[in-house]
Amino acid sequence: MMDWTDRHCRYFHRLLSRHALLYTEMVTTGALVHGDVARHLRFNAEEHPVALQLGGSEPADLAHCAQLGEQWGYDEINLNCGCPSERVQRGAFGACLMAEPQLVADCVKAMVDVVDVPVTVKHRIGIDKTESYEFVRDFVGAVSEAGCQTFIVHARNAWLQGLSPKENREVPPLRYELVYRLKREFPALVIVINGGITTGEQVAAQLRELDGVMVGREAYHNPWWLASWDEGFFDAAPAGQTRESVESQMVDYMARQAVEHGTPWPSIARHMLGLRHGLPGSRRWRQVWSDHKLKTLHPREVMALAHAPAWASEVGTSRPVTDLAHA
């Protein structure tokens, strides 16, 4: 989810569900040790609960970055041991770390020793063509002894050679039964499953076996699904939003971000393009919000154009259309 689940995306998703735990995109230790900490760690207070996902393999650097995450107010620190991309492998972290469970344990212990918030690990069920349950069992066993109590398990192997990250989400077979077996063998641990889950029915089925479900791309591309989660999975009142109210709040947010941080609205609007997924007129609505020729307009005017009758869009940004935004 690199370059996807930034703070603007998370603000949008929080409007849809008050209770889902949100995760940042992976932030490398190098970016925090040598880069602009505020740019990488700044988030909106409305995002809570929110977890900071780190990528790295040096215990001291991870401990330092975990402390930064806690100081900035994150509710959880997550170590990514699941990303299979070659760029991540060149940095000696991500899924390739599963081959070194003791190093991961050392990294976890270094973080656990310096922060009070939970330290969790996201990983695969195996790497390359190694499909033995014992491999992932021994990984979880070693890392749990270092103080990790929550494991988020993508139920596919990561093939470190020959597959793109996209293919790594599709080609290696899903093997949910290995994740269920982990829960049976480690009943005291929190085991969360990830991979191939796209419907509420599938989530409910997984929750009968496990402690939680992580959803990535389906939540991004079909975000309105999140609006059903509070009532369906948290036994809580729904957020009570409509698509239109969410869009309007995002427009207000875009305006604030422009004033406070100079953020252009298209870099925020891109995250909500799936909001009207499956509805009549959704294609034209997406086209308006994706039209960079409109980037000089106030986002409230863009929203008016997106909801104007199809014939009205032909007049572009003439006064009769834009005035509608200020009625």
Residues 220 and 131 in one domain: yes
Residues 226 and 251 in one domain: no
Tokens of 64: 């330092």
Q: Which residue has the tokens 């085991």?
A: 191
Residues 140 and 252 in one domain: no
Give the C-alpha separation, 144 to 121, whole Å.
10
Classify strands 212-214 and 76-81 as parallel, antiparallel or unpaired: unpaired
Residues 321 and 259 in one domain: yes
| pLDDT tens per residue across span 229-249 | 999 999 999 888 999 999 999
The pLDDT value recorded for residue 325 is: 34
3-state class (DSSP) for residue 190: strand
Q: Which residue, 36, 18, 146, is CA-closest to 81?
A: 146
Give the C-alpha separation, 153 to 138, whole Å.
14
Residue after which a domain boundary falls, among 162, 197, 231: 231
Q: Which residue, 101, 88, 85, 90, is CA-closest to 136?
A: 101
The pLDDT value recorded for residue 318 is: 38
Residue after which a domain boundary falls, among 205, 231, 257: 231
In sequence order, the 6+-apart residues with CB closer than 8 A to the CB of 26 are 1, 2, 53, 54, 55, 80, 83, 88
Q: How many domains does the chain have?
A: 2
| Mean pLDDT per 10-residue interval, the chain, length 327 residues | 87 97 96 95 97 96 98 98 67 81 97 98 91 95 98 92 76 94 98 97 98 96 97 91 97 97 97 96 96 96 92 45 32
CATH number for position 191: 3.20.20.70
- The dihedral of CA 95, 11, 75, 62: what is its sign? positive
Give the C-alpha separation, 135 to 28, whole Å.
26
pTM: 0.90
Residues 167 and 282 in one domain: no
How crowded is residue 315: how many other Cβ atoms within 10 Å of its Cβ? 13
| pLDDT tens per residue across span 57-108 | 999 999 999 999 999 999 999 999 987 666 555 556 688 899 999 999 999 9
68 within a domain of the structure (yes/no): yes
237 within a domain of the structure (yes/no): no
Phi, psi of 213 (to 5 degrees): -135, 135
Choosing from 83, 96, 107, 148, which is the catalytic residue?
83
Residues 262 and 187 in one domain: no
The pLDDT value recorded for residue 37 is: 97
- Tell me, yes or no, if 65 is annotated catalytic: no
Residues 283 and 220 in one domain: no
Residues 174 and 63 in one domain: yes
Provide the domain limits for residue 134: 7-231
152 within a domain of the structure (yes/no): yes
Residue after which a domain boundary falls, among 211, 231, 251: 231
Give the C-alpha separation, 20 to 220, whole Å.
14
